[in-house]
Amino acid sequence: MNRRHLMMTTVALGAAYLLRNDKSRKKLMNQFQSMAAKARK
C-alpha cells in the first residue's frame, strides 16, 4: 500500500468517526463554515 492511499484511508476513517457523533459533527461543520467564510473575504 502506498503512502498516499494509506493517508487517504486514515482521513476517511477519522472523518467517519467524527461524523458519527452529533456534537462533534456540528462542531466540525461550524469549523468548515468559518474557514469558508474567511476564505471568501
- State the virtual CA torsion across 17, 32, 23, 18 in degrees, nearest 10: 0
The sign of the CA dihedral 19, 25, 29, 35 is negative
Q: State residue 29's pLDDT score.
A: 84
Q: What is the pLDDT of residue 18?
A: 78
Instruction: Measure the CA–CA gap between 30 and 27, rounded to whole angstroms.
Output: 5
The total number of structural domains in the chain stands at 1
pLDDT (tens digit per residue) in 1-41: 688 899 999 988 888 887 788 888 888 889 889 988 888 87
Distance CA 2, CA 36 (A): 31
Q: What is the pLDDT of residue 21?
A: 84
- Per the structure, the complete domain to which residue 12 belongs is given by 3-40
What is the structure's pLDDT at 41? 72
* Nearby residues of 19 by Cβ (< 8 Å), 6 or more positions away: 25, 28
Looking at residue 1, its pLDDT comes to 65
